[in-house]
């Protein structure tokens, strides 16, 4: 669930590298405590989208942070909404502001990339990418049909739901093996 904090604005205490996914977001103590109280403790299912902004407001990057153990703000996604990844020095302005995606009637659907097959030959569907996702059909290569990889859902908890549209499948027997999931027939 996406969380908000009206009029939140502060500056970075420590710089952020280009590759900031899974990095700690270091803010002054008062700002960090305010966000830790606003975002429920989770492993990424509750998050806040923040804007990193240059001094002249000409450059910016959107990141998602979550509250880990009630102690740390962790960046779970960077370069959101097609913003450019960048390095950000200490003193960079960071704020919680509405974005174009905030005004969508529903969350933008995430399309899972088959090229990112995880170890153990499984396709991982990460619930942090949204509750509505698409699994594209398997492409034929040189007339050969590829096999489905088993699919595993991550970052979901009891009671969480996700709508996964599986494209290129005509019947239930053509579905991949889903690990920790239930097929709803309708």
Query: In degrees rounded to 5, what are phi and psi of residue 110?
Result: -95, 130
Q: Are residues 52 and 120 in the same domain?
A: no
**Could you tell me if 91 and 119 lie in one domain?**
no
Q: Are residues 110 and 56 in the same domain?
A: no
Residues 89 and 117 placed together within one structural domain of the fold: no
Q: Of 80, 96, 112, at which residue does a domain stop?
A: 96
> What pLDDT, on the 0 to 100 scale, is given for residue 72?
92
The Cα 162–Cα 153 span in angstroms is 10
Both 87 and 117 in a single domain?
no
Domain membership of residue 19 (yes or no) is yes
| Per-residue pLDDT at 172 | 66
Nearest to 78 by CA among 62, 99, 58: 62
The residue from 62, 96, 130 where one domain ends is: 96
> Can you give the residue range of the structural domain that contains 16?
10-96
Cα–Cα distance between 126 and 89 in angstroms, integer? Answer: 30
109 and 74 together in one domain = no
Q: Which residues of the chain have pLDDT under 50?
A: 140-141, 185-186
**Domain match, 15 and 68 both:** yes
What pLDDT is attached to residue 61? 94
Residue 184 lies in a domain: no
Number of domains in the chain: 2
Asked if residue 183 is part of any domain, the answer here is: no
pLDDT value of residue 141? 46
- In this prediction the pTM is 0.57
Only one residue has tokens 């595993």, namely 152
Please, is 164 exposed, middle or buried when counting C-beta atoms within 10 Å of its C-beta (0-12, 13-18, 19+)?
middle
Q: What is the pLDDT of residue 2?
A: 80
Burial grade of 5 (CB within 10 A; 0-12, 13-18, 19 or more):
middle
Sort 16 into a burial class: Cβ within 10 Å, 0-12 / 13-18 / 19+.
Answer: buried
């Amino acid at each position: 669930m996406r969380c908000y904090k009206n009029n939140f604005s502060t500056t970075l205490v420590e710089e952020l590298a280009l590759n900031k996914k899974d990095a700690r977001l270091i803010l002054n103590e008062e700002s960090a405590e305010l966000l830790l109280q606003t975002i429920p403790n989770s492993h990424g299912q509750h998050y806040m989208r923040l804007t990193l902004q240059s001094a002249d407001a000409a450059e910016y990057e959107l990141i998602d942070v979550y509250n880990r153990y009630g102690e740390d703000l962790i960046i779970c996604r960077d370069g959101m909404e097609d913003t450019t990844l960048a390095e950000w020095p200490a003193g960079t302005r960071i704020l919680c502001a509405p974005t174009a995606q905030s005004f969508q009637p529903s969350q933008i659907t995430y399309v899972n990339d088959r090229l990112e097959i995880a170890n153990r030959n499984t396709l991982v569907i990460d619930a942090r990418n949204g509750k509505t996702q698409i699994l594209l059909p398997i492409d034929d290569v040189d007339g050969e049909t590829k096999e489905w990889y088993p699919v595993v859902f991550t970052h979901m908890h009891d009671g969480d739901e996700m709508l996964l549209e599986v494209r290129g499948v005509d019947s239930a027997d053509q579905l991949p093996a889903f690990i920790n999931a239930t097929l709803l027939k309708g």
